Structures are given as C-alpha cells and as structure tokens.
Amino acid sequence: MDLLENLNKTQREAVLHTEGPLLILAGAGSGKTRVITHRIAHLIEKGVKPYNIFAVTFTNKAAEEMKKRVMSIAGPSGNSVFVRTFHSAAVYILRRFGEAGGIPKNFTIYDTRDQEDVIKRILVEMRLDPKKVKPSMIASRISEIKDSESYLDGSDPLLMLPDYFSFDFKEVFRKYHEKMSENNALDFSDLLVKTVGLLRNSPHVLSELQLMWKYFMVDEYQDTNYSQYLIARYLASASRNICVVGDDDQSIYSWRGADIRNILNFEKDYENARSITLDRNYRSTKQILEAASVVIRNNENRKEKNVQASRGDGEAVVWCSANNEYGEGEFVINTIQSLKSREALSNRDFAIFYRTNAQSRIFEDFLRREKIPYRIVGGLKFYDRKEVKDILAYLKFLVNRNDSVSLYRIINVPARGIGRASQEKLMETASSGGFSEWRVIDDELMTGKVPRGIDEFRSIIKNLSADMARVPAEILLSSFVKLVIDRSTYRESLLEENTLESRSRLDNLDELVNSIIEYEQHEPQATPEQFIQDISLYTSEENPVDDEQDRTNCVTLMTVHNAKGLEFPVVFLTGLEEDTFPHKLCIDTDEAVEEERRLCYVGITRAMDRIFITSAELRRSYMGPEYKRPSRFIEEIPTSLLEIKNYNSQSFGTSDSESRRQSWGTAGQAQSAGTKPVSPVSYQKGNSSGEHHDKDDNSGSRFSLREKVMHPKFGMGRVVKIEGSGDNLKLTISFGLTNRVFLEKYTPLDKIN
C-alpha cells in the first residue's frame, strides 16, 4: 500500500518528517486525522516497533477511531500502538509505576459524583448543610486549583485557596485530600497531577518510560492544559521525537484549563522544531472559508496561515438581521423548509448553533410546531431541563395542592433542610391520616421535631398563592413566574453557587420567562392553570418518527462548543449580537474576546455548503427587552462576502425598529439587499386522505396553509390545518404554544399581508 497516495504536498511532508520535534498546524477541514494515522503507519513501515509509539487525544471516541484507522492502514500490528486519552495514559503509568511515588497500584478512580459524596461527608462533619453549600461548586473549585500552573509548579495550595466563602474553604480542601488518601482514591485532576509528580521526582521511572516510548503524537494540542503539557514534555525530552497536531484558531476551552500558549510557544519549547501548515481545506466552499478567515485574522495571538479552499466558490454567506428573536427563529425554520423543498435536502443536513443552551428554546418551539424532528447534542431539550421542570412544578403545585409529585420535587428545592427522612415522615403522616401532604404542612400536623424548612416552604407557598390570585387582573402571568423564581429563592441560590453550570441554569430560567411572555402575546388573559395545561399538552407531543431511519434524520441543535470537530451541509450560526456572541461575560479582556472570536471561527468552519448567520435587533432578557447591536464578528466580514437579509416578524408585538430602519422587509418576509424578497415557502403537510388543503384546492377556504391571520381575541396566528368544506370548513390556527380550531364561516379573521 502506498501510504503517500492521495496526500497533498504538505500532508506528505508531515507524514515523512519523523525525527525531531514537529508542529502540524491543521486548519479546519484540512485532513489532520488522515495525516496522523498515515504518519503512524509510516513509522511502522520504516521499522519502528508499534509499541514504541505513544499517541494521545482527548476523548475515548477519538482514541478508538484513531486506533481503528491505524489498523486499517498498518494492519494488525497497529493494535500495539499505544493510543489513549491523557487520563487513560496517566492511569496506565500510575498503575505500573505509581508505587515509586507512594501511590498504591490498587487505587480507585473517583468520578464527579464520588467527589461530591466525599465533600458532602466533610460538610456534615463541619456542621455545614450540603444542601446550602453546594458540593458541586466546591468540587469545581478544587479542580480549578489543582489544574493551575502555580499548583503544579509547587506553590502552597493553602495560599491559593479562595477566601470569599462564608465557610472555611481551606479546611474543606485539607479534609478532602485527607479522605481521598484514606480511601486510596484519585479524582480526574489527581490522575494528571500525580503523573506529573511521578515523572518529575522519579528519574528511573521516567527513564524506563522513555525507553518504552520513542515517538510521540499529541492530537488537539491547542486544548492541552498545563499538566498535559508537562506529561508530554517529560516523556519526549529524551528522544525529542514529538509531533503535536492542532490549530490555535480553534482553541476554545480555556474555561476548562486549556492553554493556547502551549501551541503558540511550541517552537520556543523545542529547539529546532519544524512547523508544517496543512493548507488545503476540503470541507467548506471558498466563500465560507474566506468569511471565517477574515474574522480570525483580527486575533493578535495566533499563527498566520493561508488555508485555501479545495472546493468551488459556493453560495454567499447570508447574514439575516431579524427584528426580534422570534423573527430569528421564524427565518431559520422557514429557510430549512424552503431548502428542503427546493434542493431535496434532509433534516440531518441542517444544524443550528447557538452560544448558550438557553437559546435553543425558540428554535425547539418552532421545530416542534412544524413537526420537524430534532435532536439536542450535549444537553437536554429545553422543557426537560431540571430548573425549567422545577419552576413548572412550583406552578403545578400552586394550581393543584393535591399534586404530591410536584410537592416532593420542590419541597427541598432550593435546599431548605427538608431531607429524605423528613419527607418520609411527611408521607407517613399524610397516609395514616388520610390527608394530603399539603394539609399536613398547612395544618402543622407533623409531630416530633419538624425541620424549620417546612415553615419556610409553607410561607413561600401561601405568599405565592396570594400573588397568584392577582393573575391576570393585576399582574401578568410572566411577572408572577418571576415572583416564583425569586420568592422560592431559586435565583438567589444559583447566584450564590456562581459556577458555569449555575449561570447556564439562570439563563434557562430567563428563557422560560421569555417563553411565557411570548405565550401572553396570544393569551393576554393567561392564568397559571391555562399555561400549565397548554405547556403539558405541548411538550407531550412527540416528534414524528416513522422508522429507524427517521430517528437519525433530525435537525441538529447544539452550542458552538459542542460543534467542534463536526460538519454539516447547512449551518445556522445564531444570536450574533454583542453580549450574546461574544458573550457578555467574555468581553472584559482581550484574551477572552479572542477566544470568543475563535469560537465564531469554529462555528463558521463547520459549514460545508451554506452558512446563515443570524442576529436579532431586539432580544428579551430577565430585565425586559433589550436592543442589540450586531456582533463585532459580523462587522469584521466585508460586505462583499455577505448577502444581507432583513426579516421582520410581528410576533411579540410590533418592534420599534420599523420606524428606525428603512431597509426592513415586510412582516413575515425576508428582504435581501440587492435581491428579490424571499417569502416563507408554502408546503402541504398531512396524510393522503385529502383533509388538508392548500389555496389551490377546491375546499372553498379563502385562506391557505401557513398564512398569517389576525383574530380579534387571540391576536396573530398562522393557519396550520384546513379540513372539511362548505359550512363545516374548519381552520386550525396556531397562536404561539396553543392551537385552536374554528369554523371559518362564523369566525372573524383578517389576513395579514
């Protein structure tokens, strides 16, 4: 087999350079996996023993794929190549040599859940409430410290510990490591830290490993943290045959310890290192690649590359500016429908990217409404997320005090000291007396020692009940839900936690409020009872799945972080506004902005054939509607590379932007600068029975499918179904989250042009 066949010039150079340090700068879509696997196969072909080759990457899936591809090229001998993740390699080293560093071979590996259990026990010992002092937050802080450069270089950890907590964090830290030692256990950070210590302090161990491994390959080098950097450096210090592969323009994980300096400084760290840039992109069209390139060139801390597209010019990069987030969602789904109709694309060909998980809600609503199957990568569907279900459970219980399922979900959320034993006692008291749990709480029927949290919960429910009675006469449903989030102390507890996870959960709660504001546009007199009923029906509807093939034929939704390493024919990169993308928490330093720009670059370069960049001029937040400026990343793309569209939706009310923007299209239409307006595609859904009709049918309806209409009570809606004929002709109209059926003859409806 000719290993060099089908490789371009720079790929061949990278494969053939086997001696000495080598940096392979692999731009997006440049075939780096092919280069890595062919390089390993070439080493074996030239006589290197497979077990002398050490290759690491970042996920088990990637490691398994690398191993398979090596074996497919090199044959069975490829199975002896040491292909692992960094953590797996660390476990191998510690199991075999750890005793030299005082680490027993039979150590246990603790995952995140195990860590939190240890921390819970420590908190109880210190008479701290694990429900109020979050073990997950403490575990996160401990990992941050152990992954830091200062800790690995020998700084006293007690001097590094935060002192802004209301409890003794230093004592928790000390006890944590005592217990881990007693349990002969290592967490994931320990695996790397202990390996660094072993290689640093046990020369004979390092020497033995260097005799075993003589050729080193590190994939995704831009994502390495300091401990991973040190492990690779120690192991390769003898042979210096280290090849690292990565792209500094795709370094997007600093929040989990990745240090871009590792790849930027490689040539300084390894004297006489060679650098090869894989300069052909095989994924994206020329226009997509050029747009991504002009954006990333605004970063100062990067290595210059001149990656060329191997494919044709392709379609222009589209930027659609919508009047609000509803218009953004409407544009995305209408475009999907249109492209599917015109170009015979499948659902699986489309991906919708967003900066934060909370942004998925609007797209999920539209996809569900249009019966388009979708999947969320790296997260739960919006209404399945814990914090959303928690607040909905509060509403359910306020509406129905006999709802014991909702009661037990919320009684200790946020934590009030009402543990399992207290809840079991409550259940027994209710059962023995034939009462509801709420009556036991309200009438104070529990005997013995009753947690103070019970009184707190009773007070919260009673106060919220009084507030609920004011809906909708005095306060809107959305305002009431804000009260639920605040008076339950849910928001306060997440703010106190102050982790990436808690901030994401806060965003989801804000988006839940936004969804209710949207609901109110169609149901201005909405009550909690009505909303709970409609949302329960709405979320119970399954996406249509006819066969196994359809299960994979879904539109993909994910954050841009989760999109790394993937590719799709059509990509929608959404929410490109200042404070949204780049995110408001990432604009305080030049380094943070540069990482956001790299994230944007990753998003654009996932697209193979088409990319649609979208932004909203008006976007709701917890504090109310906010006018948004287009992202600086859009402004960095020359207009010559953009096809600019404006999309105006009348949903959520009329935007003030209409009076301020002359170029705005008509309601429900996208208007392209220098092109004809693009209207949403009309299409027919339904079965073969003929019960659904479009405007060309002989149904006698004066409306067509997907046509916008105005109802005097329910406001603006869209026709989603037409059935029957004559006096019995029925219209099903979607008003946000609810569908309503009307007899056309007797219903006053106006068309919206």
Long-range contacts of 294-299 (CB under 8 A, 24+ apart): 294/636, 294/637, 294/638, 294/641, 295/597, 295/600, 295/601, 295/604, 295/633, 295/636, 295/637, 296/249, 296/597, 296/598, 296/601, 298/597, 298/636, 299/249, 299/594, 299/597, 299/598
Closest CA to 719 of 691, 751, 687, 676: 751
Q: What is the CA radius of gyration of the chain?
A: 29
How far is the C-alpha of 324 from the C-alpha of 664, rounded, in Å? 12
Unique residue bearing structure tokens 């700084």: 155
How far is the C-alpha of 546 from the C-alpha of 531, rounded, in Å? 30
Q: What residues does 716 pair with on adjacent strands?
A: 710
How far is the C-alpha of 388 from the C-alpha of 405, rounded, in Å? 16
User: From start to end of 199-271, where are the E strands?
Assistant: 215-218, 242-246
What is the pairing mode between strands 350-354 and 555-559?
parallel
What is the pairing mode between strands 555-559 and 669-672?
unpaired
How far is the C-alpha of 389 from the C-alpha of 393, rounded, in Å? 6
How far is the C-alpha of 598 from the C-alpha of 264, rounded, in Å? 14
| C-alpha triplet 65, 70, 72: angle, nearest 5° | 95
Residue 582: φ, ψ to 5°: -70, 145
Closest CA to 238 of 208, 197, 272, 273: 208
Q: Which run of H or E residues covers position 627?
A: strand 624-627
How far is the C-alpha of 678 from the C-alpha of 645, rounded, in Å? 9
How far is the C-alpha of 677 from the C-alpha of 660, rounded, in Å? 20
How far is the C-alpha of 266 from the C-alpha of 269, rounded, in Å? 5
How far is the C-alpha of 731 from the C-alpha of 747, rounded, in Å? 10
Say if CB 321 and CB 357 are below 8 A apart: no
What is the pairing mode between strands 607-621 and 624-627?
antiparallel
Say if CB 288 and CB 605 are below 8 A apart: yes
- State both tokens at 114: 């195990």
Closest CA to 97 of 244, 199, 233, 234: 199
Residues forming the active site: 32-33, 219-220, 250, 606
How far is the C-alpha of 261 from the C-alpha of 265, rounded, in Å? 6
Residue 635: φ, ψ to 5°: -60, -25
Long-range contacts of 149-152 (CB under 8 A, 24+ apart): 149/226, 149/259, 151/193, 152/193, 152/196, 152/226, 152/227, 152/230
Residue 31: φ, ψ to 5°: 80, 35
How far is the C-alpha of 458 from the C-alpha of 443, rounded, in Å? 10
